[in-house]
Structure 1
Amino acid sequence: MQTNGVMFQAFEWYLKDDGNYYLDMIEKLDELKDMGVDSIWLPPVTKAQGTNDTGYGVYDLYDLGEFDQKGDVRTKYGTKEQLHQLIDKIHQRDMRVYCDVVINHKAGADEEETFQAVPVDENDRTQEIDTPREIKGWTKFIFPGRDGKYSDFTWNFHHFNGVDYDSKHDETGIFRILGENKGWNYGVSKDKGNFDYLMFANIDHAHPEVEQELKDWIGWFIETLNIDGIRLDAVKHIDHHFMERFVKHVHAETNDDFYVLGEYWDQKGDHKDIYLKETNYTIDLFDVDLHYHFHEASKKDDYDFSKLFDNTLLKDHPTRAVTFVDNHDTQPEQSLESFVEPWFKPLAYAIILLRKEGYPCLFYGDVYGINQPKIEPINKVITQLAKIRGLYAYGDEDLYLDGGHCLGFVRHGDDKHPQQLITVMSQRDATTIKMFIGKEHAGKVFADVLGHTEAKVTIDDEGYGAFKTEAGNVSVYLVEGTTID
């Protein structure tokens, strides 16, 4: 990550299934570069169980839109050739590429197999709810369309430890696969007793053949696409012992600059503390707690801003925190729906983009809109804040929490960026916060470059200024006459 870098999540859940995504993204790159984006997070680019799948129902990790499998050659997003074209265009603009990697489960198996399994309680996967029995499940992956190209490895029930459907008895549920050295992995979230199982055919990361195959694949994947980082999906469901070895292997195959980001979806900050320690602080994590604080603040008119950063990675592990406002999982009609109300988004984006700590991630749906249900973007204010970050958000920071419903902070600049930046916001009423800028700046006049208030602030002889914002809004002050274009 470069200084004051900005990540862009380059997709939302309901993008059109027309195969034109990669080409459409190329048209957006210049605008994103101009905003200050330094890295593009792409959706899962591997072949899923159908072109209407976002990629998280992954079928063949070696098919990047090259083989006629699961109804088409292309993925939802396009062909392998178009993907290479997009990555090349991103690199030409001196931006980095992070690809979404889904190695928790597989979907769309080619054949069924018969094996021993036991049904377990969906709310406590450590509890068996019936006797072991022979079931029939979709666990055989032979990839006939690829016919062994790049890898001749095929998957069978030995490589999984759970499925969600028994076709022999036409029964849905969670079935733990039985066998020698077989069971749920221990190094996972303890929610629901043991949260190894998430969906589809659940990969057994304790199986030595699985570990070797995934290591072989990730090396091929990184080299083939020439990417600069990966976003690991659903890491709370993947054995952390495996993950530590996997990431160590990735860095051995690449370099220390290769970026690894994990999605550990949990509102309990202490769980992420443990995970970071268990993986030797080699993986950055999304700041899920901060997102939920934003969501709660956007729903209440009496939210206490003094609690906004409690239990967040931004507060406890700032160098490992990827901050975000919303993403594809939190948008409307998704299982983790917790969409931040539009009125609050400028406040939330000001926090993640202008504060000192954290690696901010912009959401495609906020910048370009969401297809279903139709939600308009808030592109203008995000663009303004992202540009301000690149130009003026530097140096030490003083944070002001005043009266519970308002927040302000001052960035004091550095040798290369001497301009002071002042941000003030109110969750409820119009407010003014007195903040220290420095005696050496006495007499300077500051104005809101967002234009949300016409108030001008003159720094007094003691170095303080009284900075105002309107009700439910955010203002960003720079020395009067400063531009962000």
Structure 2
Amino acid sequence: MADDKPDEQTPTPENATILQAFEWYIPDDHTHWKRLARDVQKYSDMGITALWIPPPCKASSPSGNGYDIYDLWDLGEFDQKGSVPTKWGSKDDLLELSTAADDCNVLLYADAVLNHKAAADKTEKCLVVEVDPDDRTKTISEPYEIEGWLGFDFPGRGDKYSAMKWHWEHFSGTDYNAANEKTAIYKIQGEFKSWAQSVDTEKGNFDYLMFADIDHAHPEVKKDINEWGVWLAKLLSLRGMRFDAVKHFSEDYLREFLDYLKANVNEDFFFVGEFWKDSLADMTAYLDRMQGSKFSLFDAPLVYNFSEASRTESYDLRKIFDGSLVQVRPVAAVTLVMNHDTQPHQALEAPIEGFFKPLAYALIMLREEGYPCVFWGDLEGISGEFKEEPSCGGQLPDIILARKLYAYGKQDDYFDFSTCLGWVRHGTWDKPAGMAVVISNAGPGEKRMFVGEEHKDEVWTDVLGWQEGEVKIGGDGFATFTCPGVSMAIWVKDDAPGRDQFGGFKAGVGYGKDE
């Protein structure tokens, strides 16, 4: 039954959904900001409320995705590292995207890469010790001098926006000695120099990840990054940030950075970290340490559950949320099916068979718990050498739309059979339609479920059109809902508001070059 009508001044807010608005192999044609600006209205109409955009800062090359970050302050404005624009486009294009998103009431979350810097402008001599790659707390050499790529002068930008130049003392480690062309993990020596202690303890101390590792204890580093964060947030009207590789850099500094942003930009800023580890205990401990920061993490364990479920015959779907972050900390869980790191042929690849993608998206999009994030590669397809068509038979937009229109109110679960799950959303006073979902990873699924006596004699159909026929709700509010084998169905009243919108969004049209 829909919730009793409360104060009409507090309408039910629209469900929030993030789109990760990129994938690893998007062409390096420098037009992606234009692409997103062109399509942001479409995404808003579909039910996307926030875009997570890729790192907007200058990378080590015109093809770099931004995780090989060179200059925080260059958003595609200066002739550096082979081009003026970034892979994604120019600064002007980015500003136009910001305006377009704001016009469509779509929030922007930027990807912040704060762990390291790449493609230094010159080498600098510094004192180091080598450490054991498998235990960075163990020193395996006497101190000696190397020539590291640690000098950043930003000749194309000069002093615009920031006069800071980066030198060896601003870093805690590197991995290459230009003097003898030797690769190792070098811990930089000097007064007050150390690996950050508030990092993950994998490999003894996981401060060092790649390139020139930033020393966030250095006061000049803190000042520059803090000021950059406020500048970027205000310039792009950001409402949140995604932090890359948070288990590799100082939690103490990150809390300081979050506080600085909230104090100088927006108290309600949204923060999510990539703490990619299949360990619920480590993730919850991290969240505990980020106390009071309103911090979220991507639900990595759930992604691995999806991968296992898709590759295990007759997997027990009742266990799909076991060990996941969304099960124990739903308010702090950003749920997802795939991202740029887990997509095919990437470092953290977590294969999910195509048949299971719709079921996985139903489990994150159509339920109460978690803040779901849709992957661009599933919505628009994957480009390049490993090209893939959009997932879910091109109907992922319809699953997103079903969340926008009907996934509200009290949730009743029917998790009573290992290969077939069902649940009902009962709607709210101002969004009363409700919905019934059935998923199966084996043969055809069937669930007798209660949707409410107020729906008696209504005719419900599957908005996806995958399950043919119709269901008439009984006088007792019950009906038997079905889905095809190894598939799903989303049942809603056949004339519910918005039913005419399904099938109206074309997936896979996001790659065309915007001239």
Deviation at 1:443, TM superposition (A): 3.9
What is the rounded CA distance, in whole Å, between the counterparts of 2:469 and 2:381 in structure 1? Answer: 32
Shift in Å, 1:462: 4.2
Q: Is the 8 A contact 1:8 1:364 kept in 2?
A: yes
Q: 1:72 to 1:2 in 2, by over 3 A?
A: farther
| 1:236-247 matches, cutoff 5 A | 236-247=247-258
Q: How much does 1:132 deviate?
A: 2.4
Residue of structure 2 in register with 1:256 after alignment: 267
1:461 is displaced (CA, Å) by 4.8
Over residues 61-105 of structure 1, what are the superposed CA-to-partner deviations in whole Å (9 max), with x where a residue is unaligned? 011111111011111111111111111111111111111111100
1:351 and 2:369 are equivalent in the alignment: no
Shift of 1:440: 4.3
Tell me which residue corresponds to 1:326.
338
Does the alignment pair 1:464 with 2:475? no
Instruction: Indicate conservation of the 8 Å contact 1:455/1:468, yes or no.
Output: no
Residue aligning to 1:377: 390
- 3-state SS, counterpart of residue 242 of structure 2: strand
SS at the partner of 1:87?
Answer: helix
CA distance in 2, matches of 1:397, 1:141: 54
CA distance in 1 between partners of 2:411 and 2:369 (Å): 9
Does residue 144 (structure 1) correspond to residue 155 (structure 2)? The answer is yes
Higher mean C-alpha deviation, range 124-133 or range 369-378: 124-133
Structure 1 vs Structure 2 CA RMSD: 1.7
Alignment of 1:281-360 (within 5 A): 281-360=293-372
Cα offset for 1:480? 3.4
In the other structure, the counterpart of 2:33 is 22
> What are the Cα deviations for residues 229-254 of structure 1, in whole angstroms up to 9, with x where unaligned?
21111111111111111101110011
Letter in 2 for 1:310: D
Distance 1:399 1:192 in 2: 41
In structure 1, runs of 5+ residues without a counterpart are none
Give runs of aligned pairs for residues 83-482 of structure 1, distance below 5 A: 83-280=94-291, 281-372=293-384, 373-378=386-391, 380-482=394-496
Tell me if structure 2 keeps the 8 A contact 1:120–1:175: yes
- Change in 2 beyond 3 A, CA 1:388/1:134: same
- 1:145 alignment partner, SS class: coil
> Match for 1:101: what amino acid?
A
Q: Contact 1:114–1:136 at 8 Å: present in 2 too? A: yes
Task: Return 5+ residue gaps in structure 2 as ranges.
Answer: 1-11, 502-515
Task: Report if the CA contact (8 A) 1:247-1:282 is conserved.
Answer: no
Partner of 2:166: helix, strand, or coil?
A: coil
How many Å apart are 1:484 and its aligned residue? Answer: 4.9
Bigger Cα displacement from structure 2, 380-389 vs 121-130? 121-130
Say whether 1:37 aligns with 2:48. Answer: yes
3-state SS of the aligned residue for 1:289?
helix
Whether contact under 8 Å (1:346, 1:473) holds in the other structure is yes
- Is residue 11 of structure 1 aligned with residue 22 of structure 2? yes
After TM superposition, the score normalised by the length of structure 2 is 0.91
Partners of 1:456 and 1:224 lie apart in 2 by: 51
**Partner Cα separation in structure 1 for residue 184 and residue 349 of structure 2:** 24
Instruction: Look up the equivalent residue of 1:376 and give its one-letter code.
Output: E
Q: From 91, 97, 103, give the equivalent of 1:80.
A: 91
Aligned mates of 2:227, 2:263 — CA distance in 1: 13
Contact 2:117 2:211 (8 Å CA) reproduced:
yes
**Aligned partners of 1:320 and 1:192: how far apart in 2?**
27
Q: Which segment drifts farther, 277-286 or 264-273? A: 277-286
Residues of 2 paired with 1:191 and 1:406: CA distance? 38
In the TM superposition, residue 55 of structure 1 has moved relative to its aligned partner by 0.6
* Counterpart amino acid of residue 411 in structure 2: E
Contact 1:402-1:433 at 8 Å conserved across structures: no
Alpha-carbon distance in 2 for matches of 1:447, 1:421? 10
Instruction: Give SS of 1:216's match.
Output: helix
**Equivalent pairs: percent with the same residue?**
43
TM-score by length of 1: 0.96
Distance 1:466 1:178 in 2: 69
User: Is the CA contact (8 Å cut-off) linking 1:287 and 1:324 kept in structure 2?
Assistant: yes
Once residues 263 and 368 of structure 1 are traced to their aligned partners in structure 2, the CA distance between those partners, rounded to angstroms, is: 23
